[in-house]
Structures are given as structure tokens and as C-alpha cells.
Amino acid sequence: MENINYTLDDVLAFDSRFRTTFINSIGGFKTPVLIGTCDKQGHSNLAIFNSLIHIGAMPPLIGFIARPDSVERHTLQNILDTHIFTINHVREEFYKEAHQTSARYAKHESEFEKVGLTPEYQKDCMAPYVKESSIKISADFVERIDLSINGTVMIIGKIRTIHVPTDCVTIDGFVDIEKAGSIAVTGLDSYYSTRSIGRLSYAKPNQPLVPISSVYLE
């Protein structure tokens, strides 16, 4: 396979859109999620993010990166105002609707209505979940970290509730998100379904890895 090498100077000389697409792509596979919020008056908001970050398991923390000068600012402002948000995995059946939430709708237009997804309210949470999602998480805002290097913001939430399909959890705690229908994304707009290659055992020096087979709780 022949390679082409781009230096920093090449990248800086790229056309702006070409560069954004290029640099986003090489960041690899990510999970598109719909982040559901509401403002203080209860108007719902929904936006797709490709920057979900596992921060830690104990306490259970999850984060994402927002760009305050983009459509993402509504999400950011709502989280800072209400301190609660939901994270909803995207399935192939509604990936176009999910992508459409990235359009610049006016502040009080609900993306749910505009794109055709269904808000779902549960008593534990004033922010809307996405009914069509199979894996849904609610989180309480705990920290905002400003990345001064480029003006983006990392939001960290502590997990409050997790909703997963009953038949997708294995006896060792693994959540089979492929079985749940979650999809992957690269860059800003390229979506993928997945095919499991396999799970591997915990690696130790000088011991062969063994495959882990999935035994589900139910």
C-alpha cells in the first residue's frame, strides 16, 4: 500500500472545508449520539455529537466536546442552565433523522418535531430522551473544562440512569451495543454498521490471549 505524507504545513495550506473533513476523519471511529436537553422554560433541544468521551467508571463519568460558535451552543447553554442532559445512541433506522438535527434551527424550534424523532420524558429527568434509541443515558452536569487552545468546551456529566435492552448485557458487564443496533461514525457525516471481530481476554505478559464469548444475563 502506497502512502502519502502530509506535513503540518500541508494541512495548514488545505482549503478550510477540506481540512475540517480531513482532520475529523483521521480521528477514527466514534459513536454518534443525540444529546437531549431543555431550556429553563422546558423547550426541548436535540443535537447530534460525534465526540462522546469515556472519562471513568468510578464514579461513572462521561463527557463530550462542544463548539460554542456552532449549532451546539443551544445544547451547551441548556446544560449550563439546567444541569441535566440525556445521551442517546443512534440506530441505522434513524441515522438520517439524527444527522438532520445538526441543521441550524432557530432557538425555539424543536429538532424532535423538525426531524421526526420522538421525545420521551421519564420521571427521573427533565431533559428528553429519544424514544427511538435503544441505549439511553441521563447525566448530571458536573464540570466544564474550557480548552483555551481552540475555544472548545469539554462537558463532563455524572451518569444518573442507564437504559439498555435487557438482552444486550453479558454476565461480565459488557453491553453489546452492536446487538442493540448502535452505529459508528467517522468525521462529520460518514456512518457505519459493525461486525464483531471478537472480544479478547485481559492481556498479561507472556500469556496467550483467549477469545471471550458472550453469555448474556437474559
Alpha-carbon distance of 20 to 22, in angstroms, equals 6
Residue 117 found at the interface with its own copies (CB under 8 A): no
Q: Tell which positions 16-35 bind its own copies, by CB under 8 A.
A: 16-31, 33
Q: Which is nearer to its own copies, 40 or 172 (CB)?
A: 172
CB 185 within 8 A of CB 24: no
Bridge-partner residues for 169, per DSSP?
175
Query: Which of 168, 183, 179, 180 is CA-nearest to residue 217?
Result: 168
Query: Which of 85, 71, 83 is CA-nearest to residue 37?
Result: 85
Least distance in angstroms from the C-beta of 117 to its own copies:
14
Q: Which is nearer to its own copies, 40 or 66 (CB)?
A: 66
Q: Tell which positions 153-182 bind its own copies, by CB under 8 A.
A: 154, 156, 158-167, 169, 172-178, 182
Q: Tell which positions 44-73 bind its own copies, by CB under 8 A.
A: 50-62, 65
In degrees and rounded to multiples of 5, residue 175 shows phi and psi of -100, 120
Query: Which of 91, 92, 89, 110 is CA-nearest to residue 101?
Result: 110
CB 182 within 8 A of CB 132: no
Least distance in angstroms from the C-beta of 13 to its own copies:
12
Q: Which is nearer to its own copies, 40 or 59 (CB)?
A: 59
Least distance in angstroms from the C-beta of 79 to its own copies:
16
Residue 103 found at the interface with its own copies (CB under 8 A): yes
Binds its own copies by CB under 8 A, chosen from 42, 131, 209, 216: 209
Alpha-carbon distance of 114 to 96, in angstroms, equals 12
Residue 77 found at the interface with its own copies (CB under 8 A): no
Least distance in angstroms from the C-beta of 164 to its own copies:
6
Bridge-partner residues for 184, per DSSP?
192
Residue 118 found at the interface with its own copies (CB under 8 A): no
